[in-house]
Structures are given as C-alpha cells and as structure tokens.
Amino acid sequence: MKGIRKLKGSGKIDYDQVNDILFFKVDGREYSHSVELLGYVIDLDTEGFVVGLQIFDASRYFNIPKIALRQVNEWNFEASLIDGVLQVKLSFNLVIRNRIVEKSPILVQKIEQPLPNSRMMCVA
C-alpha cells in the first residue's frame, strides 16, 4: 500500500427533493470529475481527493420521508480510497415527528479507475 494523503475540511449538505438526491460537498476544493457508482456518484478534485457525494433515491435508501431530508442537522462525511476500494462513512441527525433520528451508513465499493490513495473528513 502506498502512502495515504489526508484532507480535512468543512462542507455543505443539500437535498434536492424533486429528484430525491442528497448531496455532501467539501468547501474550497477545485472539482475535476465525477465517478458514477451503483446508486451514487462521487466527485473528485484536481488532487484526486473525494470531495463530493450524491446519493440517488435518498429517501428510499435511508428509509426517511423526503420532507425530513430537508432538515438534516449535524453531519459528518468521511471518504477513504485505499488500493482501489472506496469507503464512505456518513453520519447525520434529523428530526422526524419530534424525534431525533441518527443515520450512519457505510458505503464500500471497488473502483476500477486508478486513483491515488487518500482520506478525507468533512464536517458541517
């Protein structure tokens, strides 16, 4: 395994209720290109760091009403790309019927495109 480059930053979250897409993004990074995966897309910057994530059919994926996804509170978005395996850890809170609900999925997928090893952590 080659050395791992690290990135830590603040970011934004957005939800497109019409198209049911939940989007996480690291601030201040220059977008290079996207890689489409099964059910989501990752955005990479010019240095090869994962700096964005779009989750399609988010309400169904998280089993959360669309209206609730507009009210995401605290959140973290971490991505690591080690030897061609992408691992994305999400953690966020939202309120559903006056109850705080926490979601913490981990997405893991093999990436065929050669990309440098990296770790990124983004918080609100």
- Strands 5-16, 21-26: pairing kind: antiparallel
Does 44 fall in a domain? Answer: yes
Confidence of residue 46 (pLDDT cuts 50, 70, 90): very high
Residue with tokens 């926490």: 102
End-to-end CA distance of the chain: 31
* Closest to 41 (Cα-Cα) out of 98, 102, 105, 86: 86
* Closest to 14 (Cα-Cα) out of 70, 55, 86, 52: 70
- pLDDT score of 2: 59
Task: Give the domain extent around 87.
Answer: 7-123
| Overall domain count for the chain | 1
72-101: per-residue pLDDT in tens? 888 998 999 899 899 999 999 998 888 999
Does 13 fall in a domain? Answer: yes
Percent of the chain with pLDDT over 70: 98
- pLDDT score of 78: 92
The Cα 13–Cα 76 span in angstroms is 10
Does 1 fall in a domain? Answer: no
Does 104 fall in a domain? Answer: yes
Mean of pLDDT values over 17-32: 94
List residues bridging with 100 in a β-sheet. 95
- pLDDT score of 115: 84
Mean of pLDDT values over 101-117: 90
